[in-house]
């Protein structure tokens, strides 16, 4: 696996240290509107070192040169991201607590289980990335194409196993969309995280899972994995890999990641975060870090990101209704 956490530790410096001190704010800046005076926490609902955590730390690193205070990543794994989302939805809406969300906790989980929050409990700051979900299998097995996978699945209903990051997560929903499009039945094996599922695919314990392009490419280059297709369009990281739609299976689903804030937050605070977000996303620093980490940036402003999440949520709702 790619040791992106080690790279980020070097790149971030002190950006992820909980005890980092606030920087001084100039009088001119203070007169322009709300300004933070202490560190801002970015909650991540998944383990440190995972894909969502990486995106949060990338943003923190890029924002470090532009914000008057530090952005600190706080990991609260559990519930496919729901635990962190619940925290941010109910904490004081003072601008010092953000959620790195947009995937499972925001778009799919509400259609699988009862939660203590809804998507409209948040307001979007902006989207950082649009993570392609990539269908992978082990080189140890014979499933080297989507056609081979579908053929074997139809001959063995419910026998081929796929791993996900949990029931109701975006990976689970992605596979259900694939099953419906292909007319097949697979066996769902939920894990604590997507990384654990990928390990079991590479070890030959389950047949398939969904990963981000950088992880797929690394294991393909190492001779460990087959890359079968993406679940949306083609990725610039693996441009030769077709989409399921190109192969005749009408599936279009992405795992988006961006910053969310409580919808109860006053407008001047939201505006400050959105203005900073735009500067960070357009900065050379963000482009440099994303390039080094093989992260595909997918900037959307707040309203557009909110609509994209709602569209995915509606897609999953329709899928669940059958």
Show the tokens assigned to 171. 């990976």
Measure Cα distances from 64 to 40, 269, 284, 295, 319 in Å.
11, 18, 13, 19, 41
- CATH number of the domain that 276 lies in? 3.40.190.150
Looking at residue 131, what is its pLDDT? 87
278 CB contacts (<8 Å, ≥6 apart)?
126, 301
Query: Is 11 part of a structural domain of the chain?
Result: yes
Indicate whether 9 and 111 sit together in one domain. Answer: yes
Q: Are residues 117 and 159 in the same domain?
A: no
Tokens describing residue 124: 């979007």
What's the pLDDT at 32?
A: 52
Query: Could you write out the three-class secondary structure of the chain?
Result: CCCHHHHHHHHHCCCCCCCCCCCCCCHHHHHCCCCCCCCEEEEECCCCCCHHHHHHHHHHHHHCCCCCCCEEEEECCCHHHHHHHHHHHHCCCCCCEEEEECCHHHHHHHHCCCCCCCHHHEEEEEEEEEEECEEEEECCCCCCCHHHHHHHHHHCCCCCEEEECCCCCHHHHHHHHHHHHHCCCCEEEECCCHHHHHHHHHCCCCCEEEECHHHHHHHHHCCCEEEEEECCCCCCCCCCCCECCCCCCCCCCEEEEEEEEECCCCHHHHHHHHHHHHHHHCCHHHHHHHHHCCCCEEEEEHHHHHHHHHHHHHHHHHHHHC
Q: What was the pLDDT predicted at 33?
A: 83
Shared domain check, 160 and 174? yes
Rounded (5°) CA angle 63-66-72: 35
Each residue's pLDDT expressed in tens, for the chain with a length of 322 residues? 444 444 444 444 434 434 333 343 344 333 358 999 999 999 999 888 878 898 999 999 999 889 999 999 999 988 889 999 999 999 999 999 999 999 999 999 999 999 999 999 999 999 999 889 999 999 999 999 999 999 999 999 999 999 998 899 999 999 999 999 999 999 999 987 788 899 999 999 999 999 989 889 999 999 999 999 999 999 999 999 999 999 999 999 989 999 999 999 999 999 999 999 999 999 999 999 999 887 889 999 999 999 999 999 999 999 888 7
- Domain ends where: 230, 264, 293? 230
Q: Say yes or no: 64 and 22 in one domain.
A: yes
Q: Is there a single domain that holds both residue 64 and residue 24?
A: yes
pLDDT at residue 301, rounded to an integer = 97
226-252 core/surface letters (b: 16 or more CB in 10 A; e: else):
bbbbbbbebbebbeebebbbebebebe
The token duo for 278 is 């735009």
Q: Of 164, 197, 230, which residue is a domain's last?
A: 230
Q: Which long-range contacts (CB under 8 A, 24 or more apart) does 199-204 make?
A: 199/1, 200/163, 201/136, 201/137, 201/138, 201/163, 201/225, 202/138, 203/138, 204/138, 204/140, 204/141
pLDDT of residue 194: 82
117 lies in the same domain as 151: no
Structural domain including 226 reads 134-230
Separation in Å, CA 186 to CA 155, 183, 206, 303: 11, 10, 11, 36
159 in the same domain as 115 = no
Look at residue 249 and tell me if it is in a domain: no
Looking at the domain assignment, is residue 87 inside a domain? yes
**Number of compact structural domains in the chain:** 2
Question: 34 lies in a domain?
Answer: yes
Question: Does residue 76 lie in a domain region?
Answer: yes
Q: What is residue 166's predicted lDDT score, i.e. its pLDDT?
A: 86
Q: 284-292 and 51-63 helices cross at what angle (nearest 10)?
A: 150
Query: What is the reported pLDDT for 175?
Result: 97
280 shares its domain with 191: no
Give a yes or no: residue 108 inside a domain. Answer: yes
Clarify whether residues 95 and 199 are in a common domain.
no
Specify if 189 maps to a domain.
yes
| Alpha-carbon gap, residue 109 to 82, rounded angstroms | 8
* 121 and 142 in a common domain: no
Separation CA 265–CA 278 (nearest Å)? 19
Residue 179's CATH number: 3.40.190.10
Same domain, 8 and 117: yes
Same domain? For 156 and 122 the reply is: no
Q: What is the dihedral of CA 186, 187, 190, 195, to 10 degrees?
A: -60
Give the predicted TM-score (pTM) of the model. 0.82
- Phi and psi angles of residue 25, each rounded to the nearest 5 degrees, phi first: -115, 130
Looking at the domain assignment, is residue 244 inside a domain?
no
């Amino acid at each position: 696996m790619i040791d992106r956490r080690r790279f980020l530790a070097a790149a971030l410096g002190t950006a992820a240290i909980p005890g980092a001190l606030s920087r001084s704010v100039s009088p001119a800046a203070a007169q322009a509107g709300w300004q933070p005076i202490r560190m801002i926490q970015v909650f991540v609902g998944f383990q440190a070192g995972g894909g969502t955590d990486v995106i949060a730390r990338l943003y923190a690193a890029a924002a470090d040169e532009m914000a008057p205070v530090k952005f600190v990543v706080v990991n609260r794994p559990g519930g496919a991201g729901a635990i962190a989302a619940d925290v941010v939805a109910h904490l004081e809406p003072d601008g010092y607590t953000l959620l790195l969300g947009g995937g499972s906790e925001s778009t799919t989980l509400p259609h699988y289980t009862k939660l203590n929050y809804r998507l409209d409990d948040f307001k979007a700051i902006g989207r950082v990335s649009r993570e392609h979900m990539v269908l992978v299998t082990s080189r140890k097995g014979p499933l080297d194409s989507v056609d081979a996978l579908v053929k074997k699945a139809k001959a063995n209903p419910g026998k081929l196993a796929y791993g996900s990051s949990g029931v109701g997560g975006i990976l689970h929903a992605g596979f259900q969309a694939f099953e419906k499009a292909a007319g097949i039945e697979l066996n769902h094996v939920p894990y604590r995280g997507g990384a654990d599922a990928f390990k079991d695919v590479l070890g030959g314990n389950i047949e398939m899972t969904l990963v981000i392009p950088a992880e797929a490419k690394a294991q393909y280059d190492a001779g460990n994995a087959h890359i079968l297709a993406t679940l949306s369009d083609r990725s610039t990281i693996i441009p030769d890999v077709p989409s399921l739609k190109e192969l005749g299976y009408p599936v279009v689903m992405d795992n988006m990641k961006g910053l969310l804030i409580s919808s109860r937050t006053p407008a001047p605070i939201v505006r400050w975060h959105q203005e900073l977000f735009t500067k960070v996303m357009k900065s050379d620093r963000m482009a440099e870090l994303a390039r080094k980490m093989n992260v595909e940036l997918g900037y959307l402003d707040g309203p557009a990101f909110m609509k994209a999440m709602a569209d995915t949520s509606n897609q999953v709702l329709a899928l669940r209704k059958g």
